[in-house]
Structure 1
């Protein structure tokens, strides 16, 4: 069972210590930078992903102030916990949190085109590429 919990002083260092496989490092922004971003962009909501009482990953979403749409800015699962379904379950939970806002019907995210496992995960949940590219990231959208 996966739960999403706020980042706090009690779990901050556990979150900072999470790491993806070395070959995936160029695909994700560090959790430390993401947490810092949430402090200067209060619309960003950083959450720890727990399996029972063990932190296995990190996710951050927001209602973006540039386009007034929901974005999943970050999703990472620690290298020791990948391929166990935790990313899929966490993604479903974040989507449900966002869907609580009945005024919007799309969720966006950016993904590196070389990150095949992330693309597979996002497509499995229903995200599709929309043709936009921002820097190194290709934009995917989920319409609901």
Structure 2
């Protein structure tokens, strides 16, 4: 069972050391950059993903200042822990956290369509493409 934990001095270095597979690197912003982004954009909430006491991934979500809606900005599972269901479990946990805020009813994320595993994961959790494109990312919305 996974659990989401804040990034702290105790897990910072381990979190920024997580890596995706080589063919996924072009689709994922580094955890170090994401954590830095959360310091200048305090609306961003970075979390470490644990399976028991083992750090397996990273996720970050926020209320975007452009549209005042929730966005899942980052989700990555370390290359040594992929294909074990951690990504889906973490995604579902973040969705549940967001849904507790009844003042918002939309959740978005951006994905590179070439990242077939990510698209499959997001679709399996109820996200659909909404036709918007920002740079190289196609936008998906939770239905």
Q: Deviations over 1:72-102 (max 9, x none)?
A: 0000000000000000000000000000001
Corresponding position: 1:17 with 2:9: no
Normalising by the residue count of structure 2, what TM-score does the alignment of the two structures yield? Answer: 0.99
2:48 aligned residue: 48
1:76 aligned residue: 76
2:25 and 2:3 map into 1 onto residues whose CA distance is: 24
Q: Deviations over 1:29-48 (max 9, x none)?
A: 00000000000000000000
1:31 and 1:103 map into 2 onto residues whose CA distance is: 29
Q: How far did residue 103 of structure 1 move?
A: 1.3
Runs of 5+ unmatched residues, structure 1: none
Aligned length: 143
Query: 4+ residue stretches of structure 1 with deviation over 4 A?
Result: none
Following superposition of structure 1 onto structure 2, how do residues 1-144 of structure 1 map, counting pairs within 5 Å? 1-143=1-143
2:65 and 2:23 map into 1 onto residues whose CA distance is: 32
Q: How much is the aligned-residue C-alpha RMSD, in angstroms? A: 0.4
Runs of 5+ unmatched residues, structure 2: none
1:125 and 1:10 map into 2 onto residues whose CA distance is: 31
Say which SS state the counterpart of residue 46 (structure 2) adopts: strand
Q: Deviations over 1:105-142 (max 9, x none)?
A: 11000000100000000000000000000001000000
Say which SS state the counterpart of residue 79 (structure 2) adopts: coil
Q: How far did residue 104 of structure 1 move?
A: 1.4
Normalising by the residue count of structure 1, what TM-score does the alignment of the two structures yield? Answer: 0.98
